[in-house]
């Protein structure tokens, strides 16, 4: 009687292990670790620029950098919402200029209170983005719609400006927005209280309705809170670095407040769940009962609000509006900031914090180039190169492979 000896399991092949490693890496970069390459690149930039000029990480330069990134960061924040649903917007920089011009003229020439002037500007921007979103949900590509909108708004800027084609904001309440600082102590207290409230609310919401003493649930809640805690600690360190001499700029604090509200909207509400679902697969989301068209419209409306705030921040920093407001590289920098920060051009992936990270990367490049006395061409080359690299990494993560797509090559 022969006894059959079971054969030993065959060892996993090297190709399988490599594929598994690439899969895990791709899943990590597409998910919880998407911001790590951006943070690493930012650290390398800061170390390099500071080695070339020790004033780069000085309190004065960091304070100036914190102010400079607000217009780009606010505009990038609105673009993140549009990118998450798989759309694009090219008109937001021009829209920010027109909205700022409307608020400036109402404030300076008509003597309106600042709050009412801002409200009218926001209403105008929201109306424009609402009209654009209607064309988008009826099938017109957002690239074409917003490109046409950009051209129209650039003409509208000339109409909105008075004959001298500029409005000075010196001495107005809006001008004080960029020049006001908040004490470091007050910022520390606000961030610390917010972090404690967030942790407490998160733990209460996770543990509510579950068995008392469930260690697994508690452990999962603590793991889920890790990014928020890390972000809070990073905010405290940033406050210490930026505000050690003059305090934290009010415009930067407002930008951070918008980021917190946007984070809550995208991660703690049904709208946020639908936002990622639409961007990930709009057809599947529609079959699941998600109001796809409504979510797209809401995203464009958020962009309208952010564009207005970006325009007001830029106008306050430059003490006026003119034909150059909203021009230059603002549109390119905002899109680059959103994408470089980790938001996918293909929709469904990214975070509102990518607007801040990307704006920091773009702003650090601009600040470092200016501090070292290099030409503007170097700044443009660096920004464009970083944008191409970020989109390439996003494409690799989306495809899950480092190899080029053979199907796409054949189709092209």
Which pLDDT belongs to residue 78?
A: 94
Contacts of 5 (CB under 8 A, 6+ apart): none
- Contact, 94 vs 150, CB < 8 A? yes
Q: Which two tokens stand for residue 40?
A: 């690493």
- Pairing mode, strands 166-168 and 181-182: unpaired
Q: How far apart are CA 95 and CA 286, in angstroms?
A: 30
pLDDT for 150 beyond 80: yes
Q: Check if the beta carbon of residue 270 is closer than 8 Å to that of residue 86.
A: no
pLDDT tens, position by position, 235-267: 777 787 776 677 888 888 899 889 988 988 888
What backbone torsions phi and psi does residue 238 show, to the nearest 5 degrees? -65, -40
Determine which of 139-143, 168-172, 221-225 has the lowest per-residue pLDDT on average: 221-225
Helix (H/G/I), strand (E/B), else coil: 248? strand
Counting DSSP H helices and E strands in the chain, the numbers are 17, 4
Q: What is the mean pLDDT of the chain?
A: 80
Burial 350-388 (b: 16+ CB within 10 A, else e): bbbbbbbbbbbbbbbbbbbbebeeeeeeebeebbeebbe
The C-alpha atoms of residue 381 and residue 133 are separated, in whole angstroms, by 33
Name the DSSP letter for residue 166: E
Supply the Cα-derived Rg of the chain in whole angstroms.
24
Whether the per-residue pLDDT at 286 is higher than 90: the answer is no
Q: Rounded to the nearest 10 degrees, how much is the dihedral formed by the CA atoms of 82, 85, 88, 91?
A: -30
Q: Give me the pLDDT at residue 300, please.
A: 95
CATH number of 36-180+265-401: 1.10.3470
Measured CA to CA, the distance from residue 309 to residue 306 in angstroms comes to 5
In the three-class reduction of DSSP (H, G, I as helix; E, B as strand; rest coil), residue 181 is classed as strand
- What digits encode the pLDDT tens for the residues 36-74? 777 888 888 888 888 888 888 888 888 888 888 999 999
Most trustworthy range by pLDDT among 41-50, 147-156, 355-364 = 147-156
Residue whose pair of structure tokens reads 């300076």 in the numeric block: 108
Q: Which residues contact 118 (CB under 8 A, 6 or more apart)?
A: 103, 308, 312
- 49, 56 contact by CB (below 8 A): yes
Helix residue ranges, H only, 161-245: 175-179, 184-207, 215-242
Domain boundaries, the chain: 36-180+265-401, 184-246
Minimum mean pLDDT range among 36-50, 97-111, 123-137: 36-50
DSSP 165: S
Composition of the chain by helix, strand, coil, percent to 5: 75, 0, 25
**Angstrom distance (rounded) from CA 335 to CA 82:** 11
For residue 407, pLDDT over 50 is answered with no
What Å distances lie between residue 264 and 122, 139, 228, 338, CA to CA? 21, 30, 11, 18
Band of residue 410 on the pLDDT scale cut at 50, 70, 90:
very low
Most confident of the ranges 83-87, 199-203, 219-223, 233-237: 83-87
- CA-closest candidate to residue 261, choices 29, 25, 78: 78
pTM above 0.85, yes or no: no
Query: Token pair 């199907």 is at which residue?
Result: 407
């Amino acid at each position: 009687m022969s006894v059959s000896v079971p054969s030993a399991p065959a060892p996993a092949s090297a190709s399988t292990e490599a594929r598994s490693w690439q899969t895990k890496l791709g899943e990590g970069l597409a998910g919880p670790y998407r911001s790590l390459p951006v943070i690493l690149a930012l650290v390398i930039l800061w170390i390099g620029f500071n080695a070339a000029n020790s004033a780069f990480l000085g309190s004065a330069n960091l304070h100036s950098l914190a102010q400079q990134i607000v217009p780009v960061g606010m505009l990038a924040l609105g673009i993140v919402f549009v990118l998450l649903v798989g759309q694009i917007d090219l008109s937001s920089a021009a829209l920010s200029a027109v909205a700022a011009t409307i608020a400036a003229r109402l404030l300076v020439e008509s003597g309106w209170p600042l709050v009412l002037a801002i409200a009218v500007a926001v209403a105008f921007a929201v109306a424009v983005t609402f009209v654009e979103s209607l064309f988008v949900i009826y099938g017109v590509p957002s690239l074409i719609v917003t490109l046409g909108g950009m051209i129209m708004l650039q003409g509208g800027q000339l109409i909105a400006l008075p004959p001298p084609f500029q409005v000075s904001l010196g001495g107005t309440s809006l001008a004080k927005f960029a020049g006001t600082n908040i004490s470091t102590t007050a910022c520390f207290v606000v961030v610390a209280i917010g972090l404690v409230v967030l942790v407490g609310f998160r733990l209460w919401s996770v543990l509510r309705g579950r068995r008392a003493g469930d260690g697994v649930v508690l452990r999962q809640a603590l793991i889920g809170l890790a990014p928020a805690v890390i972000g809070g600690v990073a905010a405290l360190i940033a406050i210490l670095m930026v505000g050690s001499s003059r305090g934290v700029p009010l415009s930067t604090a407002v930008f951070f407040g918008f980021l917190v509200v946007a984070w809550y909207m995208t991660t703690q509400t049904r709208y946020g769940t639908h936002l990622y679902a639409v961007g990930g697969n709009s057809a599947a989301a529609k079959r699941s009962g998600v109001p796809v068209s409504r979510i797209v419209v809401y995203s464009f409306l958020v962009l309208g609000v952010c564009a207005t705030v970006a325009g007001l921040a830029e106008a306050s920093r430059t003490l006026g509006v003119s034909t150059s407001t909203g021009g230059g590289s603002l549109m390119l920098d905002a899109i680059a900031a959103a994408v470089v920060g980790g938001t996918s051009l293909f929709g469904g992936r990214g975070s509102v914090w990518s607007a801040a990270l990307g704006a920091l990367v773009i702003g650090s490049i601009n600040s470092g180039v200016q501090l070292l006395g290099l030409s503007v061409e170097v700044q443009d080359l660096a920004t464009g190169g970083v944008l191409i690299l970020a989109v390439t990494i996003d494409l690799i993560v989306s495809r899950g492979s480092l190899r080029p797509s053979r199907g796409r090559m054949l189709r092209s």
